[in-house]
């Protein structure tokens, strides 16, 4: 995993060497070196591990998603601001799937961190607010959950999350204990206490 500074330095060196090769009439080699520098510069703005993690997330393979995010040892040093937000967002999604107390607390921290740093797309902000609202509702913190649901509703301009928002609003009307059982048992399926 290359740090941000090494990526920029390597890109600048490759661009300079490519220009030198073009001036020295090695046009084909110069273009290839410049393209290589462009690929390295692209990974500065779009981290390859995060791209792979999103790829596996789309396939619902949370184990491989977590594996590729695990390759990022120090997100603060190796990722730019928006990438750190998406790193926290992905970690929140992974932790929320584990459904243990410690993982749920980590998921809450990760979603809050992603929202604080700033996700780029409104849909991602809406999804993070929705997930955070579900976590807070499971803990019985309905007022905070309601604020986050309202924010998610405003951010969901394409109305892709309308059904999930309505479902959570319906669950907010349930008593707290039933609501917590629902989240503990994976949607109410399973043995009741």
pLDDT tens figures, 6-61: 889 999 999 999 999 999 999 999 999 999 999 999 988 888 899 999 999 999 99
At 162 the pLDDT is 83
Q: Hey, what are 175's tokens? A: 């008593």
Rounded to the nearest 5°, which phi and psi values hold at 63?
-65, -50
At 110 the pLDDT is 93
| Cβ-count burial 76-99 (b if 16+ within 10 Å, e if not) | eebbeebbbbbbbbbbbbbbbeee
At 159 the pLDDT is 85
Tell me the C-alpha distance between 188 and 72, whole Å.
36
Percent over 90 (pLDDT), the chain: 45
Cα end-to-end distance, the chain, whole Å? 48
At 192 the pLDDT is 40
The number of CA neighbours under 13 Å toward the Cβ of 56 is: 17
Return the higher-pLDDT residue of 2 and 117.
117
Reported as a single tens digit per residue, the pLDDT across 86-122 is 999 999 999 988 877 888 889 999 999 999 998 988 9
pTM to 2 decimal places: 0.76
Entry field: residues in the chain: 193
Is residue 189's pLDDT more than 80? no
At 191 the pLDDT is 40
- Contact between 128 and 115 (Cβ < 8 Å): yes
Is residue 182's pLDDT more than 80? no
At 32 the pLDDT is 96
Is residue 79's pLDDT more than 70? yes
Q: Hey, what are 26's tokens? A: 């090695």
The boundaries of every CATH 1.25.40 domain in the chain are 47-184
The CATH architecture of the domain made up of 47-184 is: Alpha Horseshoe (1.25)
The number of CA neighbours under 13 Å toward the Cβ of 71 is: 15
């Amino acid at each position: 995993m290359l740090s941000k500074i090494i990526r920029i330095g390597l890109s600048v060196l490759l661009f300079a060497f490519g220009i030198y090769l073009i001036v020295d009439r090695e046009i084909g080699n110069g273009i290839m070196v410049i393209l290589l520098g462009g690929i390295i510069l692209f990974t500065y703005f779009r981290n390859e591990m995060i791209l792979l993690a999103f790829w596996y997330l789309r396939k619902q393979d949370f184990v491989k998603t977590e594996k590729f995010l695990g390759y990022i040892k120090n997100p603060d040093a190796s990722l730019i601001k928006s990438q750190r937000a998406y790193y926290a967002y992905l970690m929140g999604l992974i932790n929320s799937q584990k459904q243990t107390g410690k993982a749920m607390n980590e998921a809450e921290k990760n979603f809050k961190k992603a929202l604080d740093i700033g996700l780029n797309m409104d849909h991602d902000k809406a999804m993070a607010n929705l997930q955070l609202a579900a976590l807070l509702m499971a803990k019985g913190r309905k007022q905070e959950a309601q604020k986050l649901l309202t924010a998610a509703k405003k951010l969901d301009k394409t109305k892709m999350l309308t059904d999930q928002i309505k479902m959570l609003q319906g669950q907010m009307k349930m008593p707290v204990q039933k609501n917590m059982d629902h989240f503990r048992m994976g949607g109410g399926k399973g043995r009741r206490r």
